[in-house]
Amino acid sequence: MANIVIIGDGAIGLLYSHFLSANNQITLITRSGDCKSNYYYQYNEQQQVISATVLNTTQLNRLKTKALDTVIFAVKAYQVNDAFSLVKPYLSDNCNIVLSHNGLSDLDPLLCQLQSQQGLYFLTTRLAGFKVTPIKVAHTGYGESILGSCNAIAATRYKAVLSQLNNLPNIRFSEHINQLRWQKLLINIAINPLSALYNVKNGALRAPIFSRKILNTVNEACHVAKKMGVNVTLADVLATAYQVMSDTQNNFSSMQQDVAHSRVTEIDAMCGYICQQAKILDINTPHNQSLLDAIRHKKSAI
């Protein structure tokens, strides 16, 4: 039984906490909870307490210095660096650090802060859920979770980390995590911005009125991906994106929820990342730029 710290009490952080508590000791670090807090997991009509010790970010002194062996960052892409800075003094010399967020961002600023025996991993997931209340997550869909290593030391001991995570549904390891991160980014670009901009559930995006916007945006992103050496095809990405829309037709995307609750979105790590890389490559991406500007404006106008 491992001691796992999960940072972030969003839907994914709570789902991870629920499943991993079956065979691990879980500490959940949040900005709002405290040691007296209970969080709840709901599936269909069944509800149960999530077995985790809860600390807020002002209570980190309860952790022992250099005592954390596995830490999962279930926070937004733009929150990773700040969250890492908070817990860095408590990471053991051979800590396993697992990132799990939407979008793409440069890992180099984080990698350069790691000690030689600290492993960095990325965990993609298709688990689906949403926060019914600030302390309750409703689990709405099962899906594959894939772990991959992001530095050399992580590649040598991924089996131990995978064993710790084996209670996540459909968990597996892949040596091609960068490819998978890109695939997820492209799917997110097809769904998240439009669902947030038009305030609709994922399934509504299958309507013909959205098809040209989706095609143009994803086509641009695939072009950038190919120029960066990523093996993707437009047809495959669109097929998968529309399948995800069907599988999660009654769900709101995370970006729609962020906009609806006046939170910062991950648009900079989605369309923003595509536009950033396109500029370096001297590629025009007007459709991604349009969505980037629209979501930024929508957020600032709330």
**Domain map (residue ranges) of the chain:** 2-175, 179-301
How confident is the model at residue 290, as a pLDDT? 98
Answer whether 35's CB lies under 8 Å from 57's CB.
no
Q: What is the pLDDT of residue 182?
A: 96
- Asked if domains 2-175 and 179-301 share a fold, the reply is no
What is the Cα–Cα distance from 13 to 200, expressed in whole angstroms? 24
| Fold annotation for 2-175 | Rossmann fold (3.40.50)
pTM over 0.85: yes
120: Cα separation from own chain's centroid: 15
Q: Which residue positions in the chain have pLDDT lower than 50? A: 302
> What is the model's pLDDT at position 63?
87
pLDDT of amino acid 120: 98
Three-class SS of the chain = CEEEEEECCCHHHHHHHHHHCCCEEEEEEECCCCCCCCCEEEECCEEEECCCEEEECCCHHHCCCCCEEEEEECCCHHHHHHHHHHHHHHEEEEEEEEECCCCCCCCHHHHCCCCCCCEEEEEEECCEEEEEECCEEEEEECCCEEEEECCHHHHHCHHHHHHHCCCCCCEEECCCHHHHHHHHHHHHHHHHHHHHHHCCCHHHHHCHHHHHHHHHHHHHHHHHHHHCCCCCCHHHHHHHHHHHHHHCCCCCCHHHHHHHCCCCCCHHHCHHHHHHHHHHHCCCCHHHHHHHHHHHHHHHHC
pLDDT at 301: 56
Instruction: Render pLDDT for 170-188 as a digit per residue (tens, 0 to 9).
Output: 999 999 999 999 999 999 9
> Do residues 272 and 104 lie in contact, with contact meaning Cβ atoms separated by under 8 Å?
no
At 253-294, the pLDDT tens digits run 999 999 998 999 999 999 999 999 999 999 999 999 999 999
Q: What is the pLDDT of residue 33?
A: 67
Q: Tell me how far CA of residue 171 lies from CA of 81, 126, 139, 161, 298, in angstroms.
A: 26, 10, 17, 11, 36
What does the pLDDT read at residue 193?
98
pLDDT at 217: 99
Class of CATH domain 179-301: mainly alpha
